[in-house]
Each structure stands twice: as C-alpha cells, then as structure tokens.
Chains A and B, each alone.
Chain A
Amino acid sequence: MSTHVRHLRSKIPSGVLPSLRLRRTPPLRLASSASLPTKTNAFIAGVDEAHPPSSPPTNGARFRLAVKDNIAAQGLPTTCASRILTGHEVPFTATIVTQIEQRLGAELWGKTNMDEFGMGTHSTNTPYGQVSNQLEGRSAGGSSGGSAVAVGMGHATVALGTDTGGSIRMPAAYTNTVGFKPSYGMLSRWGVVPYANSLDTVGLIAKEVAPIQEIIYAVCMEHDPKDPTSLPATVRERCVSERQYYPSSRGTPPPDFPSQGLRGLTFGLPIEYNIEELSPRIKEGWMQVADKIMEQGGRVVPVSLPSTKSALSAYYVIAPAEAASNLSKYDGIRYGKRASPASSPGDNSDALNGILYAKTRGEGFGPEVKRRILLGSYTLSSEAVDNYFKQAQRVRRLVRRDFDRVFRLPNPLLENEHGDDGNKEQQFDLSDMDESVTLESKLGPTQIDFLLCPTAPTTPPKLSDIAKQTPFDSYMNDVFTVPASLAGLPAISIPMALPKSEEDPVDFGGVQLIGQFWDDARLLAVTGHIRSGQQ
C-alpha cells in the first residue's frame, strides 16, 4: 500500500494526450436516424482511431468494455474530463474493472468522455469537446454520455459509467440504450473518483439487458474490503435470502423468466411524476409501455411518492456539498496539472493574490464544476448548513420512506436499523396522498413490485439549444432519476418507442423501472422480459 510520493506522478507526458483525443467513428447504420455524426467525442483516451473495432475482441476476450474517465484503469489516464487532472494516471485499477476483466474476460476499450467530474446532464461540460449523440447534433445525455455513445455506436459491448443522480440512465434514454444503476453498495467504488460519495454508484450501459445481467450475476456477491461502503458479505447473504432471481451459487446461469410472464407483478405509476415539463410524447410512450405490461399480465396502479417534489432540490444541495468537499483535494501539488507561473506576464508564482492553489483551481476547473463547488461550499457554511444541508438530509430520509411504503418488499437495511419489520410500520398519512391513489384495503394503497416512470422528461435536446439553456434548465432534466439515487435503489432505463411527430424526428425515449433495495436481480429479469416483448 505504502508508496513513495514522487512515484505517484503520472509518467505520461501531457503532450501525448491530444493525439489520443480525436477519433473518427465508423459509420453505423441506425434505424432511427439518417444523419450520422462524423465525430462524437465519445472517447478521451485509449482508442486508436485508425483501428475501429471491426474484428472480434483479441486475446480471447468475450467483449469490449469502455470505461468512463472517472474510473481508474492502470495504463490509461483517469482525468474525469477535467483540465486539473490532465494526463493524470491513477496508480491502481478500479475493483470493478478488474472484476469484469477477470471474471468475464473483457477487453478494455478506451476511456470515455463525460461531464467534468460527473457534473452535468448532457456531457457538454468537458474540455475534450462535447459528446454528440449518434443522432448528430443531439445531446448524448450526461454525465456518462461518452459511455452511452460508445455502446450506441457499437464500439463497446458494455460500458462502465457512474450514476450519481441519473448519469447512466439519462444517457441511456437519450441514446436508445439500456442503462442500469445497481443498489448502492453492490459494486465497489474503489478506484472510482468520487463526485458525491453517498450517491455515486457504478453502473453499466449496453444495448440489451442480457450483458448487464451477466456482469451483475458474476459480481453481485463480492464484497470489496477496499471500499468502506461496499456491502459486507454477511449483509449481501441476508439481502439475497429475501430476494429472487439471484444465482444460487457463483457461475450458475441466470434463472429463466417464468412462462406466466408478468402475471402476479404490480407496477406503480408515480402520479407526482406527471409534471408540467413532461413532454406529451414521452407521456404517451410511458402509457404505451404500461399498456404492454398489462397485456402481458402485469398489474399497473397509480402510486403516490409525495416527497418527490422536494427530491430534486435536496439532490442539488447534497451532491454539490459532497462535491465541494471531494474536490478540495485538487490543488495541482501532488498530482494533476498545476497552473504555470508564466501564464500571466510579470507573475512568477502559481498563487493568486497570495493564495496558493487559487490559480490552479481557477484554471483547472470548468464553469459547472466551479458553480457546484460554490453551491456546496455555501450550503455547508455555518450560516446555511442548518437550512440547506441538514434539511436536505431530512428530505432524503423522506424520499426513502416514500419508496419503502409503496414497495411490497421490505427494505433490508431498514429492518436492520430498527430491529423489527420496518416496512409494516410505514403507513401513509392520508393527507400526504394524492386523491387519485386508490386504497387497496383499510391498511392503505396497493403495494407494488416496481415503479414505472419516464427516465427523462423530453427526447434528447439539440446541442445548439442546450448552449442557450441556463444551468437550472439542465438540473430540471434529472427530476425523474434523482429520487432513486437519493434512496440508493436499483433503477434501469430501457428504450421505449414514441409516437411519430412532425416536429421531432426522434422516435425513442427512455422508460425507467425502479426496484426495492437489492431487488436488482429481479429488476433485471423483469426488464429483460419487457425488453424482449418490445422487439
């Protein structure tokens, strides 16, 4: 573990990077679009543009794995798409990368572009050039936009991303791919550069559910002692004992989905998600998915998640607060890029107004990162912490309570905390509840297996429109993805068809399914079934 300081500096000269930066992606035939991008900026490093992946993976690897640039892979730089980490190579490999390489035989296929440190909704906050969707000129979603496009364009079979408030699900919805955020604590974060530790979750993007399912089956029982928030083996055992569709032992294939289809499963439509900003076509697509589920025997009911209204605000307090804290380490002293003294004439110091680091941080961080550092520093300040940070933590608990009330399965962590069956205690106050929610019995409304809701309120916006948006507009896009992040629940976004439109040629959207904590295996199995029914 111990290492000498000077060995930690990257050995890669910073001049090498730009040559890795630009890559021309091979034209791929996409059903939904006629215009193909000539340059997506999906990759930051590691991909040789002269050798597009036309042949199968080498060295017996079964598939190609693209890795988001905030996940460490030794031999490649890990910069989080930030100038402040230009050329930086983390001197170890993230546990999840090692697991996938070793357990499943994957070939590492480059580091993917992203919003700087994961902060953004469209993968435009990056010094490597904004990521373009396969639909040229459209947002690829963020922050794992590069990973989603790498999969969407066929460069990689599976891409690793991170999801803090929707950063995997959003790009999946915008790029017509499948994006999965597992339960918090399932996949190790060792080697993942934190944005907001209590929300950061490593997840996967692929074109179908199956490869994701395979990876989750392979690693879901593995505790990583290097990650203090990785769920201990004993707790995993306990969680799994109350769940279905987990492999009985390592190496066993995923159990088949029962022939009865979705019969016996209840899906909840959260009525609070029917917001003003929701595009009518997305709403229409959402309802069509619900109809399809009912056709396959599933039951669909409206449910109420009253704290949803405050969830987005709470997220934009908690995430920037943790980010401001996490990003204090970037000072250019031990690693990364230090502002050069010569950058302004007559100035021979790397300090600004006598403050060490100020110039490095001023030059190294992009505007969105600076905005969130300021936001987070304010909400943690002694005058604001009670009104913002602590309130947001309370809202977070309410959000989790909302989920625990509507799910049929109890939350295994909650049980543990209170020593009794916490779920039974979770009763709705009628005054909290929307009147459109019907009561199942005198105990309350119907309890459900999964939530079904849109991933994003709109189809991928045009990059030219995004440039005109305020930061607040893009924060709004996270409204459907943030609640599951706050509660640490598994959530998956799969493509859904949209009704034809004259104004918007995009004919797909993303629909999200959210499950109770550690119900990941069943969520994947059910989603896989729904997905197969779509085709």
Chain B
Amino acid sequence: MSRVPTAALSKYLLQGQVSRQGCLRLTRSPQISARALALRPAIVSHCRSLHTQTTETPLSTSSSAAAAPSHVPLRKQLKDEAKKAKAAGKKKKKNASNQVVPGWELTVGIEIHAQLNTAKKLFSEATTSFNDESNSHVAYFDLATPGSQPHFQKETLVPALRAALALNCDIQPVSRFDRKHYFHWDQPSGYQITQYYEPFAREGRIVLQPRDGIAAEDGDGLAVRIQQVQMEQDTAKTTAQPGDTHWIDFNRTGAPLIEIITRPDIHHPATAAALVRKVQILLNAVDACVSGMEAGGLRADVNVSVRRTDDPNAPLGTRTEIKNLSSFKAVEDAIIAERDRQIAVLEAGGVVEGETRGWSIGSTETRRLRGKEGEVDYRYMPDPDVLPVFIGDDLVTHLRESMGQLPDAEVDELTDVFGLTAKDALSLVALDGGARVEYFWRVVESLQSKLGSIISENPACFQLAANWILHELGRLTSNPHDESAQDLGFTADGECQRVPVDSLADIIVFLYQNKITAKVAKELLWVVYRGNVPEQYPTVADAIETENMWFHELSDQEYAELADQAVEGQEDIVNQFVDYKQYPQGKLMFLVGRMMRLGSEERIDPKNAEGVMRRLLEDKYVPALGRAED
C-alpha cells in the first residue's frame, strides 16, 4: 500500500480535511473498471480511507466512482463527493448510532504505550533523541554487548511517577523489572525489560466527561479504572529500504516507555478514543511524555470482545487484540470494525478466536495477524541484573505537590474565567501537545503587564487573546499549498517561534484599545508570521508607525458628515425605516457599507459607523422624510 504523506494524513485525521491533490493522485484513472479495482485491493482500501465517513457502503462508493460516466468532469465529481462526504460526516457525528449495536454489548480494554520525556535511556546513560544521526546515541548495553550490564537511570522515574499520579494510581513502594523474550531485529538482547510481575503503579482511574468526547450513551461521564502502569524499554527503529534491506537505528533502543493498562470498563468506541485522547492530554500536561499520538509518541493496543445483552450474568466474550493503533480515529474505527466482525461471526453461529489483529488507517476491517497457536510465549523472567526499585513516600509527595494544574481544572478555568466554550477550551489544552495553552498563559501574562491590570477588569481582552490563539493562529498555517510553513514552532515552555508571545500581545492590546482595526490586526499577524517583525520593523508598534496603520478614527462630527453623504439619494432605503415589522438590519448594513466606501476605510470602525448610522436614521433622516412629506 502506498504511503500517504504525514501532513495530509494528520490534516485528514485531525481536521477532517481531504487533500484534493491526494484524491487526484489516487484516482488517476477514472475509467478504471470495477474488476481492475477488485484486483487491486490496496487501491480500493486507499480510496476508502478518504471516504470512511460516507453513509454508503465503502464498496459501492468505490465502484460508483469507478463506474462513473466519463462525461462528468473529474473535478466536479470529486467536489461533489467531497461535499457529500463532508455532509455525511457531519450528520454522522450527531447521530451516534454506530456506537451501539442493539442486542449486543461491547467491552474494550486499552493498553497505551507512551514515550517518557527523559534525558537518558532507561538502563543506560545514552541520550534519548528524536532526529539525530542514526546510531549516534548507543551505549554498550543498548546493543546487548556481551559483558555489559544495565544501569537503571533513576531520573526516568520522575516523568513516570508524574504520569501515574495524573492517572490517580497507587505508587508501589517496591517494583521490579522482568524480561519479556521474543526475537526481532529491533530488540538486540532478545528480550525487552518491562514490569510484568510487579509494576510501579496500580489501581488508577480516569474520569471522562461529556466534553472529552465520550459516546452519548455514556451520559454524564464514567470512570475508567487503570489496572497498572509499568515502565519498559523501547525498541530500535527500522527503516525499510528498497529490496529486502532494513536499516536499524538503535538510538531509540532502550528509551523509556510507560505502558498504561486499563480494565475492560469501556463499552463504546467513541469513549475508547476519548480515553486515549485524555491520557495524551494528561501526560502532556504533567510533562511526562515527549510527543503525542500524531508524532508517534503514543501507541495503543485495544482488546475487544462482545456478548449478547440478554443475559447479564454471561461472562465476557472471547477477546481479540488489535495492535499498534496510532491515532484516536484509528482507535474508534478499529473497535467499530472489530465489534461488527465479531458480531457477524457470532450471528453466523461461529466462534470468535482469541487472536491478534491489525488495523491500517482508513480500512474498514481488522486483519488477522496471528492466532493463538502463533502467539509468542514471552517466557517472563525477573531480570537478575536489575535491582528492585524502591520509591519513597517523600518523592511521591513532592511530585504530587509540584505537579501543577491538571487539564480538567485548566479547562474549567478557561471556560469560567476566560469565557471560552468547553470545545474551544479543550482544543486549546490539547493542541501542540500542550504547548499551545502554555503559550496562551504566557500571552495572558504579557497582556497583564502591558495593560497593567488584572483579568477581571478587562475580560474581553483576554477572551480576544484566546480566540486569536485558537483561530487566527490556525489560519496562518491552514494554506494547504504551503507545506513548508505548516509549523508554528511552539516550544514546550510556551513560546512560539513564528509568532512570539510579545508580538501577539502587542497586536491584541492595540486591537483591544481600538488603536488599530481588526483588519490591520490580522495583517500585522501575517507581518509577524513572515518574520518582518523584527527583521524589517523592530516591534509591532514600529510596523504600525512606519506603515501608517494606526487607527485615527473619524470624529463624531466626521462620522455624521459621512452618514449624511451616505444617505444622499437613498430615500427609498431610508423610507423602509419608517414603519417596519422587523428592523431592516440588512438595509442598515447597506448604508454602513456606503459609509465605508465613501469615507476612508482605514479610519472607520464598522461598529461605530453602524451606531452612528442607526442613531442618525432615528433622530434625523427618518424624521426628515416626514418633514419632506409634510
């Protein structure tokens, strides 16, 4: 199966956007026959990936596309399909029918693997890294060099403990490491060191609320229990090369991971995705995790089983495990597909086999990877070279106290104090792995010092900031043709390389104080984004000054004169304000538009112009009409 560029994929997954270019490439031969498609399942499934949200069955989608009459222009056809898909997608979100199959209960447990944010590997002093030169951070032990031994890096406990605390777990005073054996080239020692018998954290819980995106069937929310959290080693990274060649990068070997194992408390696919999303947000919030799911820092395995609802005492059905899901959408889609497959098997009188299955992004079916007979016996054994880990209460207490605000509290603050909608607040917290909200707080800080006041005195200013950080900043990078400029460059400490905190705060203060217009403010944002501040102009104020963009608003007198000009010869329009059932707002805006055209636009605040016009209509022009008629 050909690869979809990551940028396109993430746009599809995160924003529901389908790249038109991508579509064109994939359906290059519109006349391709249904038979030919059937022979090329990879392409079929790829087409499907772009249309999974249509209500039509995927097969008919692709065959209808294939059999489309040749006289329909391709561009139009694609547009229509995209429209249809979009409409269907929206509809689907509202009706949650895919969350439940009548007569059946779904049960899901999840295992989440996350890369810990640490400087060193779990058992060696080699540095953890992301895109450094291959095989440049490798200690003897990472390569399983004979005679080398593991050196537990106790600092790795800090993010692991933070994660476990954020997940409300009981930290175990004593934990141990075990070897899990299997042969693979990405595993130099032939075993992974993990915590099987005695993990460092147990019995946690995550509370999910409706705003977390759970299924409507879960009502006001639910608590998902966490069985355990364990530390373990990551494997090497394999890069496939042409032919049978694989390149192995041992930089990642031995990097610390945590595995979070939930109890089978989830019964709806959307809730499973919400759980994974929430775990990611929590891990980012406590700085436990290097990167989110979209960057490959988080992977999930789901265990899925179904049983009939008629007997509440029936045991859970046989479960299957779907491995290596790397997006929230994949979690939800794979669970739906696997649930439906299991139900179909059972309804046909068959038996669900306990097996391991796989899922590719965009497909509609899980695929069998290996059955029970192919299961690897991991032959767990306590690692005799790794000492038990003793975690003191003092450390746990310190970390608990220094953990700071968790996302739920932060979302509450954003909605209560800054007037954000729950959806906006959640996006703000989730974006850029938590860096976006950090940026927000720094902008808030900067605004406070610039305004010399506290939030409660100028709530509108801070709301403005929140909106800009969420929406206006997003526009900067939403141009799909400009792939090079897709990254705003947020740093973990809340700075943004492309739009520095201070510049944004300047723009917002000027806008809030009405010293510039909204239009100018938006232009200034581009000026900052393109680097013209500070390259060309030292500060935002200098840019405004140099380019003469300050908002010198018309005086009341000038506004009145402009209004007079605008109504000249428009008696028919003014007439409609004499006696109306509903205030003719549209006509008012027409007159305001005339004001904007006649006057110098950069000196007019549309809101103020509207007020002036409204007042003058009432006080002056309408009465004047009456007098003229008299």
Contacts and interface: CB of A to CB of B under 8 A. Distances in A.
A327 B136 CA distance: 26
Contacts of B385: 194, 197, 228-229
- Give the dominant DSSP class at B's interface: loop
Nearest to A79: B146
A321 B381 contact: yes
Contacts of A331: 183, 185, 190
A1 B379 contact: no
A328 B124 contact: no
Given A228-B387, A328-B181, A334-B188, A5 B135 contact: yes
A334 B140 contact: no
Contacts of B143: 5, 8, 334-335
Contacts of B188: 329, 333-334
A1 B140 contact: yes
Contacts of B136: 2, 4
A328 B190 contact: yes
A2 B139 contact: yes
Q: A interface, by DSSP: helix, strand, loop or mixed?
A: loop
Contacts of B147: 71-72, 78, 90, 92, 94, 190-194
A154 B181 CA distance: 44
B608 interface: no
A377 interface: yes
A389 B381 contact: yes
Interface string B168-199: 00000000000101010100111100000000
Given A193-B147, A328-B189, A389-B381, A357 B152 contact: no
Given A2-B137, A192-B147, A377-B379, A325 B179 contact: yes
Contact of B145 (A2, A8, A80): A8
Residue in B127, B143, B148 with the greatest tally of chain A CB atoms within 10 Å: B148
A385 B145 CA distance: 28
Contacts of A92: 140, 147-148
A226 interface: yes
B125 interface: yes
Interface in B189-216: 189-191
Interface string B92-135: 00000000000000000000000000000000111100000001
B522 to A, nearest CB: 48
A515 B276 CA distance: 56
A88 interface: yes
B384 A333 contact: no
Given A2-B136, A2-B137, A90 B146 contact: yes
B151 interface: yes
B126 A80 contact: no
A335 B145 contact: yes
Contact of B191 (A190, A193, A325): A325
Contacts of B125: 1-2
A91 interface: yes
A451 to B, nearest CB: 25
A380 interface: yes
A331 B183 CA distance: 9
Interface in A318-363: 321-322, 324-325, 327-329, 331, 333-335, 356-357
Contact of B183 (A85, A191, A356): A356
B138 interface: yes
Contact of B140 (A85, A91, A194): A91
A381 interface: yes
A310 interface: no
A80 B146 CA distance: 10
A198 interface: yes
Given A1-B125, A2-B136, A5-B135, A380 B146 contact: no
B146 A78 contact: yes
Given A2-B127, A193-B146, A380 B138 contact: no
A357 B185 CA distance: 9
Residue of A1, A192, A381 ringed by the most chain B CB atoms within 10 A: A1
B380 interface: yes
Given A190-B147, A197-B385, A328-B183, A4 B135 contact: yes
B155 to A, nearest CB: 15
A92 B147 CA distance: 9
Interface string A356-375: 11000000000000000000
Given A228-B152, A334-B188, 20 more contacts: A1-B139, A2-B127, A3-B140, A4-B135, A78-B146, A190-B147, A191-B147, A194-B147, A196-B384, A228-B150, A325-B381, A329-B146, A329-B188, A331-B190, A334-B143, A334-B145, A335-B146, A356-B183, A380-B380, A385-B380
20 contacts: A3-B140, A8-B140, A8-B145, A71-B147, A90-B146, A91-B145, A225-B151, A228-B151, A228-B386, A229-B384, A324-B379, A325-B181, A325-B379, A325-B381, A327-B190, A331-B185, A331-B190, A333-B188, A356-B183, A380-B381
The 10 A-B pairs at the shortest CB distance, nearest first, are namely A328-B190, A380-B379, A198-B384, A329-B144, A197-B384, A193-B146, A191-B147, A5-B135, A1-B139, A329-B189
